[in-house]
Amino acid sequence: MAIQRTLILCKPDAVSRGLIGDIVSRFERRGYVIVAMKMMQLDGERARKHYGEHEGKPFFQGLVDFITSGPLLAMAVEGEEAIAGCRQIMGATNPLNAATGSIRADFASTIGRNLVHGSDSHESAERELAIFFQPSDFVSRKHDLERWILEK
């Protein structure tokens, strides 16, 4: 198993609905550790960079408008197979298709307001983490991660 780092965003709908604590706790209860976190208001330039792979698609501007519509919480999360594991915790992009017990199945109502974002690959995680965090933002949680792995 590989230790990975991934980006998780609590989008503006999660923040405005007061769901940050519920969302963060799901990752922590699963054994993932948060190595960086910041509340921020995303500007248009950074939002366009984040959603760059969708530029030119009809829904691109809607993504940018929504992600910049209010504050969000950005997190760097680490753990064994964190990319796939965190995406499982989040559930399918469309809440109607999300597994029971996932964040989106439990709290989201539409594909456009689905509360969270998570990197979908190692390459995406590296690119996205660099958009939201500087290297100095990360803290070491190595001992917490090692303890969790040993307890498994």
What is the pLDDT at residue 130? 98
Q: What mean pLDDT comes out for the span 71-100?
A: 97
Rounded to whole angstroms, the Cα distance separating 120 from 83 reads: 7
Please tell me the distance from the alpha carbon of residue 103 to that of residue 35, in angstroms, as a whole number: 21
Total domain count for the chain? Answer: 1
Q: What is the CATH number of the domain that holds 72?
A: 3.30.70.141
Q: Which domain holds residue 122?
A: 3-151
Question: Angle at which helices 20-29 and 82-90 pack, to 10 degrees?
Answer: 140
The pTM of this model reads: 0.91
Q: Is the pLDDT of residue 91 over 80?
A: yes
Q: Is 8 helix (H, G, I), strand (E, B) or coil?
A: strand
Tell me which of 50, 54, 117, 122 is the catalytic residue: 117
50 carries an active-site annotation: no
Identify the CA nearest to 138 among candidates 33, 27, 15: 33
Tell whether the model's pLDDT for residue 66 goes beyond 80.
yes
